[in-house]
Chains A and B, each alone.
Chain A
């Protein structure tokens, strides 16, 4: 067990575009404590989403390490990483990315199926999530029959159903109007507070970022601490 829920060491990600090489993530180090809420802001193309994807094991870095609760996920094989992701991490995309042929309920339960969870183990968390996210009456609808806000709430429930220790969110309200965005975020924060999960969120919205424990800014692939709010317990500020 590690002291930090997320820790990266000299994380580098480059892309080759024709003859030039673009460095999307440049030697990024970060340490995120358990239960902490970290927001990452930055302009479009600054590399924040790429960084988040790598931290969540959805993409591979060119160099460096990512530790989730002490496990170096860059060293895990594809299958081990898949299972690890299913059990320890949750991910919310900007677009809901629900599988069109499955109902809302089936989409929520997808991680339990993918991780071979027995029926009884997720019933309680399902009940809580459905109640908290207020999607009880939409469970048997297909994604095409849901509004944007509802679909995103289903996506949040899907990310949380396995009770992950860390939650990654890539502009979860980017596709929603203000009212819907506020509602979804409020629900997300409430559930997170209840479950005590670590949250790493990429956002454009400073108002949302303001609610985080710490705010980082991604600029040309480099991550810098923007602000550090000490809420409750005393926190250590990492310098790079």
Chain B
């Protein structure tokens, strides 16, 4: 017979390999359909996890894009331009970008007629304060062209060496905003490809080697083993994983990638748990396979193809279910995209990878066992009580003590079952917890506008002692020193504005003094100072500190502990309004009283409660007055404080705690005080140039635009040109996304919760099936039907009780881990995150406990019913001893 061409031979071998494995898998799965039913459900859930995630991510992007497009038809906004700047911009003569008609406020694209530049003129009463906002649109062009035009525009007018706008008036970074959407578009269009070429080549090589190895492994296993060996195999696997990881990490979807990894871990955990149960109960088949020559690769292959086949069957239903679920989450808020082949492919790859990874460890462990140990365990002998241990088998203590002993006898099995099944209840709580994080993000009020008064020569005075309205002036009364408040600007009169807050982080540079050791700050322009930067600290009563906190003993103040993770904030009545949205004890307004020095303090650092301070407590704020010796400039935090306490001199100012705010988001412990006190403690003039303006939630777009006008008009009337940055877009965009994320986590949590009963019932049904033989034996020795009932009942009850305890413990631990991750670890890695206080969602805990207890009991009840049903039929014609299957 003529030999076929090598390519055909490989294809034939490949086909034979696939068809043979799929045939075996088909036989195994559908012959034992009941046994595999839970795998169908599990794989379906895994695919749904990822399907919901992938499809919603895609649609979330649409939501965000639509939101921005609906409200903002511009790419670049220029704020607060004077007449000259405005004229220059609207006369911009770049043929590719702006061919504008000057007659109207809208300059339109000649070809499409779409508006390109939209100007907004502020009708200030004084001519010199007239300002314009100009909105520029580049999106009528391809992203590449838009980017070219954008870069030219920026170079010519804003950031280039001879940029025009800064030359003809004040123009800083605060005067323009480029929309995120536009930046994303040009980023995608102009992504550097050069850096990707080596990665691309590497990936092609790696995957080519993998493919060749895979094909040859099938066709000529021995040769491959000799040629590649184990090292090569691991090298390829490791290289592929590292490559994939880098590639995903470098991508624009870091967040998506992290969630994918988390879901992957959960999915693999689920599949491993189930597969371990299965192979534990059905070792016989694998023993026979191994007798026939199966090694790990072959065992892995049989397991993999079985799950692969299951994932094929569940794939389409799961994709449909995921799409519908996401559709219900997003409702009609978006032009929903049903057809997402890219995401569907991702789901397929994800489930493939999950089933592949899940069977590795169970099969590896299996392959290390001897075939005889696998075949012999099938005789059920390990489930029947040893006569030596069960001496009291049918005595008066039977069956209660017998079954209690059984729980101990099967302790390994029970522990595994409880931990794996209840771990998913704990994960359910974690999911709800994450949903709550996003809810917190939605509820947490964000400033809608930022008012910049730096151009006006006015400063915002956060309140001086003796004048709660904050109208005190500083300095010599010159224009540059005039302090104003929200009341001066009439901002509080604007309908819809709730409160105004002075803002800004510590600004300036850290520099060394003459001795080269002490770090100081220059150029403060905001009423916020971190204690560490001015070598200051706060002293709190020792008995208020919670165990394991960041406090140090204060050597010269017995009964007090020192802390430098403190931030001082100057405050006024406007800020008190802001603080009143949080949970607090005491009276916030007491801080405005003049009979004593009062402060408002938080009680947490990085949102972890650090002490139990009460209103009325006395604390001291220490200001450095001199030093004995320099301290090590390389140390910071607690180490620096330790040295400061040893070598520096301090003046301690006494303060009384007016109120304690419990849940304010913070990195350092905030201490609020009036402007005078702030100046005394920090030595810094507490003036602000930036103001956060908060508005009522749920305002219409029209009202929002009116508010901008009113804020500008109010400010222009009084103090001249101010710039207003509308941050509402960012806030609303994040809220829109967060709302969906919150629902998404709830859906995923519910899916996770379904897993728990799956594991319970699968495990317990198989377990009691095996124990049926034991019950038959003890019945043949004289045990009554009621004894067997008690055995089942005790088993069910003990599982229910243990579930309750374990579910509460595990849920608490899991929630705390997430809380710690979000509040402490992520901020430590410089990730922006929403802070929230630790709590255990009681409803989730209740659901988890109820599910665990119910599963613990009913997963025993079902096999109990089944056993007695079978027994009944046996007693009416059977021997009472049921054969093995």
Q: Tell whether, in the assembled complex, residue B370 and residue A58 are in contact, meaning their CB atoms are under 8 Å apart.
A: yes
Given the complex, which residues of A lie within 8 Å of B375, measured CB to CB?
93, 97
Q: Is A101 an interface residue (CB 8 A)?
A: yes
Given the complex, which residues of A lie within 8 Å of B388, measured CB to CB?
18
- Out of B27, B289, B295, B372, name the residue touching A83 (CB < 8 Å): B295
Q: Tell whether, in the assembled complex, residue A111 and residue B292 are in contact, meaning their CB atoms are under 8 Å apart.
A: yes
Q: Is A48 an interface residue (CB 8 A)?
A: no
Given the complex, which residues of B lie within 8 Å of A4, measured CB to CB?
none
Q: Tell whether, in the assembled complex, residue B294 and residue A86 are in contact, meaning their CB atoms are under 8 Å apart.
A: yes
Q: Tell whether, in the assembled complex, residue A79 and residue B297 are in contact, meaning their CB atoms are under 8 Å apart.
A: yes
- Out of B16, B218, B288, name the residue touching A97 (CB < 8 Å): B288
Given contacts A58-B371, A82-B290, A83-B293, contact A116 B221 (CB under 8 A): yes
Given contacts A18-B388, A87-B293, A101-B32, contact A82 B27 (CB under 8 A): no
Measured between C-beta atoms, what is the minimum distance from A17 to chain B in Å? Answer: 10
Q: Is B829 an interface residue (CB 8 A)?
A: no
Q: Is B28 an interface residue (CB 8 A)?
A: yes
Measured between C-beta atoms, what is the minimum distance from A88 to chain B in Å? Answer: 9
CA distance A79 to B32 in the complex (A): 27
The residues in B between 233 and 274 inclusive whose CB is less than 8 angstroms from any CB of A are: none
Measured between C-beta atoms, what is the minimum distance from B285 to chain A in Å? Answer: 6
- Out of A18, A82, A91, name the residue touching B294 (CB < 8 Å): A82
The residues in B between 341 and 385 inclusive whose CB is less than 8 angstroms from any CB of A are: 367-368, 370-373, 375
Q: Tell whether, in the assembled complex, residue A82 and residue B373 are in contact, meaning their CB atoms are under 8 Å apart.
A: no
Q: Is A145 an interface residue (CB 8 A)?
A: no
CA distance A53 to B371 in the complex (A): 9
Contact with A along B20-38 (1 / 0, CB 8 A): 1000100110011000000
Measured between C-beta atoms, what is the minimum distance from A73 to chain B in Å? Answer: 12
Q: Tell whether, in the assembled complex, residue B291 and residue A58 are in contact, meaning their CB atoms are under 8 Å apart.
A: yes
- Out of A58, A78, A80, name the residue touching B372 (CB < 8 Å): A58
Residue of A nearest to B388 (CB): A18
Q: Is A162 an interface residue (CB 8 A)?
A: yes
Q: Tell whether, in the assembled complex, residue A86 and residue B293 are in contact, meaning their CB atoms are under 8 Å apart.
A: yes
Interchain Cβ contacts within 8 Å, total number: 82
The residues in A between 53 and 85 inclusive whose CB is less than 8 angstroms from any CB of B are: 53, 58-60, 78-80, 82-83, 85
Residue of B nearest to A162 (CB): B293
Q: Is A214 an interface residue (CB 8 A)?
A: no
Q: Tell whether, in the assembled complex, residue B16 and residue A78 are in contact, meaning their CB atoms are under 8 Å apart.
A: no
Q: Is A194 an interface residue (CB 8 A)?
A: no
CA distance A101 to B371 in the complex (A): 19
Q: Is A232 an interface residue (CB 8 A)?
A: no
CA distance A78 to B24 in the complex (A): 23
Q: Tell whether, in the assembled complex, residue A110 and residue B292 are in contact, meaning their CB atoms are under 8 Å apart.
A: yes
Q: Tell whether, in the assembled complex, residue B368 and residue A78 are in contact, meaning their CB atoms are under 8 Å apart.
A: yes
Given the complex, which residues of A lie within 8 Å of B368, measured CB to CB?
78
Q: Is B298 an interface residue (CB 8 A)?
A: yes
The residues in A between 96 and 121 inclusive whose CB is less than 8 angstroms from any CB of B are: 97-102, 106, 110-111, 113-116, 118-119
The residues in B between 540 and 582 inclusive whose CB is less than 8 angstroms from any CB of A are: none
- Out of A87, A110, A115, A116, name the residue touching B288 (CB < 8 Å): A110
Q: Is B719 an interface residue (CB 8 A)?
A: no
Q: Is A158 an interface residue (CB 8 A)?
A: yes
Q: Tell whether, in the assembled complex, residue B296 and residue A59 are in contact, meaning their CB atoms are under 8 Å apart.
A: no
CA distance A60 to B16 in the complex (A): 34
Residue from the set A82, A110, A111, A158 with the largest chain B CB neighbour count within 10 Å: A82
Q: Tell whether, in the assembled complex, residue B27 and residue A101 are in contact, meaning their CB atoms are under 8 Å apart.
A: yes
Contact with A along B282-312 (1 / 0, CB 8 A): 0011001111111111100000000000000
Measured between C-beta atoms, what is the minimum distance from B751 to chain A in Å? Answer: 31
CA distance A97 to B367 in the complex (A): 19
Q: Is B13 an interface residue (CB 8 A)?
A: yes
Chain B: interface size category: 20 to 34
Given contacts A82-B298, A100-B885, A119-B16, contact A114 B372 (CB under 8 A): no
Measured between C-beta atoms, what is the minimum distance from A80 to chain B in Å? Answer: 8
Residue of B nearest to A158 (CB): B292
Residue from the set A59, A60, A114 with the largest chain B CB neighbour count within 10 Å: A114
- Out of A78, A91, A100, A106, name the residue touching B295 (CB < 8 Å): A78
Q: Tell whether, in the assembled complex, residue B296 and residue A79 are in contact, meaning their CB atoms are under 8 Å apart.
A: yes
Q: Tell whether, in the assembled complex, residue A53 and residue B13 are in contact, meaning their CB atoms are under 8 Å apart.
A: no
Given contacts A97-B375, A101-B28, A116-B221, contact A78 B293 (CB under 8 A): no
Given the complex, which residues of B lie within 8 Å of A60, measured CB to CB?
370
Q: Tell whether, in the assembled complex, residue B370 and residue A59 are in contact, meaning their CB atoms are under 8 Å apart.
A: yes
Q: Tell whether, in the assembled complex, residue A99 and residue B288 are in contact, meaning their CB atoms are under 8 Å apart.
A: yes
Measured between C-beta atoms, what is the minimum distance from A52 to chain B in Å? Answer: 10
Contact with A along B846-885 (1 / 0, CB 8 A): 0000000000000000000000000000000000000001
CA distance A82 to B291 in the complex (A): 7
CA distance A15 to B713 in the complex (A): 93
Given the complex, which residues of A lie within 8 Å of B372, measured CB to CB?
53, 58-59
CA distance A158 to B17 in the complex (A): 20
CA distance A113 to B24 in the complex (A): 9
The residues in B between 208 and 233 inclusive whose CB is less than 8 angstroms from any CB of A are: 218, 221
Given the complex, which residues of B lie within 8 Å of A86, measured CB to CB?
292-294
Residue of B nearest to A102 (CB): B27
Q: Tell whether, in the assembled complex, residue B31 and residue A101 are in contact, meaning their CB atoms are under 8 Å apart.
A: yes
Given the complex, which residues of A lie within 8 Å of B297, measured CB to CB?
79
Contact with A along B574-605 (1 / 0, CB 8 A): 00000000000000000000000000000000
CA distance A99 to B296 in the complex (A): 19
Given contacts A59-B373, A83-B295, A114-B294, contact A106 B289 (CB under 8 A): no
Q: Tell whether, in the assembled complex, residue A110 and residue B296 are in contact, meaning their CB atoms are under 8 Å apart.
A: no
CA distance A98 to B287 in the complex (A): 11
Given the complex, which residues of A lie within 8 Å of B370, measured CB to CB?
53, 58-60
Given the complex, which residues of A lie within 8 Å of B221, measured CB to CB?
116
Q: Can you give 23 contacting A-B residue pairs, CB < 8 Å?
A: A18-B388, A53-B370, A53-B372, A58-B370, A58-B371, A59-B373, A79-B296, A79-B367, A82-B296, A85-B290, A85-B292, A86-B293, A91-B291, A97-B288, A99-B285, A99-B288, A100-B31, A102-B24, A110-B289, A113-B20, A116-B298, A118-B13, A118-B16
**Known contacts A102-B24, A114-B292; can you find 16 more A-B pairs with CB under 8 A?**
A58-B371, A59-B371, A59-B372, A79-B367, A82-B367, A85-B290, A85-B293, A86-B292, A97-B375, A98-B288, A99-B288, A106-B27, A110-B288, A113-B20, A113-B24, A119-B16
> What are the nearest 5 A-B pairs in CB distance?
A86-B293, A101-B31, A82-B295, A79-B295, A111-B292
